[in-house]
A = this chain, B = another copy of it.
Amino acid sequence: MILQLEKSIDTNQKEQLIKDLQKFTKSVNEVQTQKGFYLVALEKNNIDIRDIGQLPGVKDVHVVSDNYQLVSKKWKVNPAQIHLKDGSVISQNDFSIMAGPCSIESEEQVDSVIAHLVENNVKIMRGGVYKPRSSPYSFRGLGMEGLKMWYKKAKAAGILIITEVMQLSQVEEMYDFIDIYQVGARNTQNFNLLDELGKVDKPVMIKRGVSGTIEELLYSAEYVFSGGNENLILCERGIRTFENMTRNTLDINAIPVLKDKTHLPVIIDPSHGIGIRKFVEPVALAGIMAGADGVIFELHPDPETAMSDGQQSLYFEESAAMIRKMNMAYELRGEMN
């Protein structure tokens, strides 16, 4: 149950209201986001919702039958709008492309990728500076130094940055240099990290866990939203299955389901989703036709020498062709409806 309060309500009235609510609810959580103040309450059985609507200070009450509340479409029917600093918007009514290398590796690499993105009209660049790696002996990223180098070049070219944040201290550290925080598939249920990201006002893209369910992804988004940050993007990036001819199994089914359940935009990552360069394009196009609001994919000036994920990174000419086809597919989807 979500309560929106009268704007005129003062602190004493609010405290009184929370007291009043105790006889109708099992718990009450205060949520202050960039866009509003809400009370999220777990109602007791067999109460009359009209009794709550009549409490002083309550503007509106929504009973949400899902276990997650604030991210549910049953509460907010209109798509969330994630505004970026260049004026663009990520939402269920828009189509966004994010591309870049798996890892930020060098100045030359960044220059080369930025030139390609500018040429192909892509506004958001992905790239890792902290890399989660199964083995401690693998390359683990250039860290903040790499991010700062990248930031300078991206800013000069008018390109926005999305990058993975892996621990609490990085949230603040990265703040001035990035546009979207990415929560990776191994951190989908790193609840302390989600709490911390609830405290900032920059957009956060949460990837579905490696074997995570759709509901778990929605709950993780609920963490950040109830922590205070409404600027959320969800990302389907492939789940673990028994199939070993592909790296993961991009779950196309999650796209229409998520768009039915939540007001948040849904992006797909076909690169990690299937994990094999020559198959990235067909699954990307498939995802768009299934309703994806954007695609994040990996490319590299020279995939064969990439420090990570080279086998799933596109060559520039493949990237250019895929961008053209993705726009065609998105356009067709618009014509169909």
Contacts and interface: CB of A to CB of B under 8 A. Distances in A.
Nearest to A195: B136
Interface string A255-267: 1110011000000
B191 A190 contact: no
Given A213-B244, A214-B245, A222 B135 contact: yes
A216 B261 CA distance: 30
B325 A226 contact: no
Copies assembled = 4
A336 B27 CA distance: 45
Contacts of A27: 137
A34 to B, nearest CB: 18
Nearest to A251: B249
Interface string A26-61: 010100000000001010000000000000000000
A81 interface: no
B241 A239 contact: yes
B253 A249 contact: yes
Contacts of A29: 136-137
B253 A253 contact: no
A208 to B, nearest CB: 10
